[in-house]
Structures are given as C-alpha cells and as structure tokens.
C-alpha cells in the first residue's frame, strides 16, 4: 500500500511538472516569435496536447514551426507520464481493494480456527480494557464492533492486530460468524443495557454452556440481564466506587494490584485452574502433587466442586476432581499448571487399577 501511494505521488509530481514545462515552453516560443500568448492559453494548449483530446490548436502556430515541434514532444513525453499516473491511480485502487479482501479472508480463517475462545461484544471504553487483558493473558478472543476505525485504532494502540468482525453484535448471524458455538464465553460491553440484554438472551440461546459476563449501566437492568442468562453482571459505576474507597482505606493493596497488572516484564495475575476428570493429581494432597516444583505459583485458595472455599490451604489439602485452585504468579506458569493438571498419567492409573482391593 505504501508503495502504491509513493508511485501515485511521483506520477502527480511528473504531471504537474509536464504542465508547467509546457506552459512556460509555449509562452517562451510565442515571445521569441513576437507573439504575446496569454498564460491561460498556454496552459490550455499544454493540457489538451498532453491529454490528446484533439480540440485543435488554440495558439496561432502559423509561421511558428517551433510551436508544433514542441507540441509533438509534449505529446510523446506527456502521454507516457499521464499513462504512468493513470496506472498508479488504478493500481492503488485495486491494491486497496485486494488488500481489504485478503485481510478479511485472513481474519475469517483465523476466526474459523478458534475454539474455547471469548467473544467480546463492543470495543468502547469498557471493551478496550477487556481486550487489553485478554491480550496480556494470551486468551484467544474475537471482537465484534460496528466501528472499523476504532478497531484499527485499538490494534495500533496494542501494537498488534487481533481477530475482529465489523458488525452488529445483536445480529444472530454475526454471533454465529464469531464462532459462538465453539466459544467458552461472551463479554457483552455495549453502551446500551437493552443491547446487552438482547445479546445475552441470544447468546444463551445459541450456546447454553457459555459463560456470559455482561455490563449494566443502570442498577435496575442488572437483574433483568441476569434473568436473560448472564452468569455475572458488572456495573462500572459500582466498580468505580469500590476502587475509589479502596484508594482511600487500603492504598498499599491497591498500588500492589496496579503494579501487578501493569508490570510489562512479568504478567502477574491471580488466576484459576480447575482439576479435570482423569487428572494424575486426583486423590493426592497438595504436598504430594508438588505443584510448586512444576510451576512457581502460590496457591492462595481452593474452591471445592460443591462451591465451598478453603483459604490459604495447607499441604494436606486433598485434590479432587472439579476442585479449582486460586493461584498467584506469572501467566505463563498458570498455562503450564493447567496443562499439567490436564495430563493423565497412564502409568499411575494402571498402577492403581492393578492394586488388589482389600478383601
């Protein structure tokens, strides 16, 4: 694209130069032959000569052979430059269209490959922060927004492109295009509570297993959106108030969390990892699982399958299927922990299966 604009600029400069040379040339030839040809007539003669429109001679060349010779030279060189300029214009238009086509195809292919991703509906003042966190935690996602220019601005702000769809998130077809059937969650951060309610209702209908987090501007809309199918409804006003009072009564804690989230060298997060069925750590204690040897993470809490929490669990905590560990540490270690928990040791299982049961 940059090369196309460069060629177009060169072509434009050459056309202007030819017109200028032609105008001055005709004017000079006229004066040399005792003819005071007007500047406008010289410009007009140059333009119709270079463009070869064939309107006829507007300058009296009778008795001035140099005028016709100069006009022939203008035709030869001017046509070439004009052709170069015209092809530059066409090339830029075609290149621009092809660039958009290839860009859209690349995005479509990327979206079709997504699985277990998050769909972000709305890239406004709230959605942009959602996108930043998903990028920081390397969570696969796709964004839906009607403003193409804003999506491009966010991509330049983040320093990297991301998968997105320019469209209306309240449209069922757009949600299907975003792979809602393969997604694990939807964040709806549209400006209107009515739109968030509609997207929540539609998303829940299209995929009943989704985790849906919705924004609500008005307190009265929170319960309606929750009844429509949202797992969690977040009020920016409420969150803002909590942040302000935290800055007042626990400034050091707030500063610690801010530094943790903004550290560019290490992506520290309080994250979660659930023990799936068949994991090799099921039945082991926290000490026996030796998770600290696998990852440099601090287990700060555990949530049982029945919903009960155990804070600051000791080494004797027995790890069961469905237990969710709340951990603190670098994001890359969280990814390693999740992968480790999903691994099922065939050797351990065969060993357990072969152990004779007590008679």
At residue 193, the pLDDT reads: 94
pLDDT category, 99, cuts 50, 70, 90?
low
CB-based burial label for 3 (10 Å; 0-12, 13-18, 19+): exposed
Query: Is the pLDDT confidence value at 258 over 70?
Result: yes
Fold of 2-105: Helix Hairpins (1.10.287)
Contacts of 146 (CB under 8 A, 6+ apart): 166, 167, 168
Query: What mean pLDDT value characterizes the chain?
Result: 84
Lowest mean pLDDT among 75-89, 113-127, 247-261: 75-89
pLDDT, one tens digit per residue, over 260-308 is 777 666 678 888 999 988 888 888 998 888 888 888 888 999 998 888 8
Is residue 173's pLDDT more than 50?
yes
What's the CA angle centered on 216, arms 211 and 219, to 5 degrees? 125
Question: What CATH number labels 115-240?
Answer: 3.40.50.720
Quote the pTM value. Answer: 0.59
Contact partners, residue 21, CB within 8 Å, separation at least 6: none
Measure Cα distances from 19 to 7, 15, 42, 148, 318 in Å.
18, 6, 9, 40, 86
User: What pLDDT score does 197 carry?
Assistant: 96
User: Which residues does 42 contact at the CB level (< 8 Å), separation at least 6?
Assistant: 22, 23, 24, 26, 27, 30, 59
State how far Cα 286 lies from the chain centre: 39
- The answer to whether 115-240 and 267-352 have equal CATH topology is no
The pLDDT assigned to 102 comes to 67
Residue 232 has what pLDDT? 94
The answer on pLDDT for 159 being more than 50 is yes
Task: List phi, psi (to 5°) of 207.
Answer: -150, 105
Other CB atoms closer than 10 Å to residue 242's CB: what's the count? 11
- Over residues 176-192, the mean pLDDT reads 95
Q: What is the mean pLDDT of residues 311-323?
A: 90
In the numeric block, which tokens belong to residue 49? 């000569």
Domain parsing of the chain, residue ranges: 2-105, 115-240, 267-352
Tell me: pLDDT of 147 over 60: yes
Q: What is the pLDDT of residue 349?
A: 46
Could you read off the pLDDT of 202-217 as tens digits, one per residue? 999 999 999 999 999 8
Q: Are the CB atoms for 289 and 319 separated by under 8 Å? A: yes
pLDDT of residue 265: 66
The counts of H helices and E strands in the chain are: 14, 10
Q: Give the span between the Cα atoms of 318 and 285, in whole angstroms.
A: 4
Q: 267-352 maps to which CATH number?
A: 3.30.70.1450
Q: Which two tokens stand for residue 26?
A: 């005709």
Specify the range with the lowest mean pLDDT, choosing from 34-43, 86-95, 118-127, 287-296.
Answer: 86-95
Percent of the chain with pLDDT over 70: 88
Q: What is the pLDDT of residue 264?
A: 64
């Amino acid at each position: 694209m940059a090369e196309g604009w460069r060629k177009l600029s060169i072509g434009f400069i050459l056309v202007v130069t030819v017109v200028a040379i032609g105008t001055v040339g005709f004017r000079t030839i006229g004066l040399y032959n005792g003819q005071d040809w007007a500047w406008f007539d010289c410009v007009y003669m140059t333009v119709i000569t270079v463009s070869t429109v064939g309107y006829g001679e507007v300058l009296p060349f009778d008795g001035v052979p140099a005028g016709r010779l100069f006009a022939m030279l203008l035709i030869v060189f001017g046509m070439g430059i004009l052709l170069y300029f015209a092809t530059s214009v066409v090339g830029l238009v075609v290149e621009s269209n092809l660039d958009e086509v290839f860009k859209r195809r690349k995005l479509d292919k990327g979206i079709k490959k997504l699985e277990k991703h998050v769909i972000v509906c709305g890239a406004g003042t709230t959605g942009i922060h959602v996108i930043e966190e998903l990028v920081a935690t390397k969570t696969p996602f796709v964004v839906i927004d009607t403003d193409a220019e804003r999506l491009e601005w966010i991509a330049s702000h983040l320093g990297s492109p991301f998968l997105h769809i320019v469209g209306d998130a309240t449209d069922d077809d757009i949600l299907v295009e975003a792979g809602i059937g393969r997604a694990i969650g939807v964040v709806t951060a549209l400006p209107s509570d009515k739109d968030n309610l509609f997207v929540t209702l539609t998303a829940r209908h299209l995929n009943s297993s989704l985790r849906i987090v919705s924004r609500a501007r008005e307190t009265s809309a929170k319960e309606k959106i929750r009844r429509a199918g949202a797992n969690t409804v977040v009020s920016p006003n409420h969150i803002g108030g909590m942040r302000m009072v935290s800055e007042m009564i626990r400034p050091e804690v707030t500063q610690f969390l801010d530094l943790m989230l903004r550290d560019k060298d290490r992506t520290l997060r309080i994250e979660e990892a659930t023990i799936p069925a068949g994991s090799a750590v099921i039945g082991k204690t926290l000490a026996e699982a030796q998770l600290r040897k696998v990852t440099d993470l601090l287990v700060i809490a555990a949530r049982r399958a029945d919903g009960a929490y155990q804070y600051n669990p000791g080494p004797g905590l027995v790890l069961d299927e469905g237990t969710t560990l709340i951990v603190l540490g670098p994001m890359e270690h969280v990814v390693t922990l999740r992968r480790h928990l999903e691994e099922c040791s065939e050797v351990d299982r065969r060993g357990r299966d072969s152990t004779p049961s007590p008679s």
